[in-house]
Every structure is written in structure tokens, then in C-alpha cells.
Amino acid sequence: MATIPAATAASRYAATAFGAAEGIGAGAEAGPAGGFGALLERAVSGTVDAAKQSDRAAMDAIAGGGDVTAVVTAVARAELALQTTVAIRDRVIQAYQDVMRMPI
């Protein structure tokens, strides 16, 4: 499995998952209005929202009212969101460890 740099993964996720929605896509380029914490909070809530949409689509399909294409799309978006969140988490942990290894 190929690894994608965290910044690339985050920008791809922002472009696909949020698209025209309010949140990361528009706020990231706007500047430090919300800061890094707000950006991270929006990214995590976007991941949770993608997972919830995936669950709803799957439940609709199980009940017989959903479209298989919609289910596959929702699951793929949720998977991408989770992979992005994990990549960002790993990158933050790596940065913390690098700072802790610096000589004082």
C-alpha cells in the first residue's frame, strides 16, 4: 500500500469530501480566522459526518430503499476521511516525537 504525505491526503480529502460545503475547503485558504484548532475540529467533524452518511446509506440499502451506487460512494468517502484522519494523527505524533528528541 502506497503512503501519501499527510498534506497531500488532507488537501485531497478537503477537495472531495467537502467540495462546495462550508468548512475546510473555504476556511483553509481564508487565513488564520479559526486557527489550526478550528481547522482540525472541522476535519474531525467532517470525518464523523462522512461515517454517519455512510451508515445511513447502508441502512437505506438494507431496507430496500437505497441505491447501491450511493452506498459505495458513501463508504468510499468515509474510508477516505478515516485514512486522512489517521494520516494526520500519525504526522502530528511524528512531529511531537521529533520535537521531544531535540536537544535543549
Q: Does residue 90 have a pLDDT over 70?
A: yes
| pLDDT score of 20 | 36
| pLDDT score of 50 | 92
Give the single-character DSSP code of 16.
I
Look at 38 and 8; give whichever has higher pLDDT.
38
Cα–Cα distance for residue pair 103/37, rounded to 1 Å = 27
The per-residue pLDDT for range 32-88, each reduced to its tens digit, is: 567 888 888 888 899 999 999 999 999 988 888 878 888 899 999 999 999 999 998
Cα–Cα distance for residue pair 68/40, rounded to 1 Å = 32
Question: Per the confidence metrics, is the pTM higher than 0.85?
Answer: no
For residues 24 and 46, the answer to whether their CB atoms sit within 8 Å is yes
Cα–Cα distance for residue pair 78/63, rounded to 1 Å = 20
Look at 53 and 6; give whichever has higher pLDDT.
53
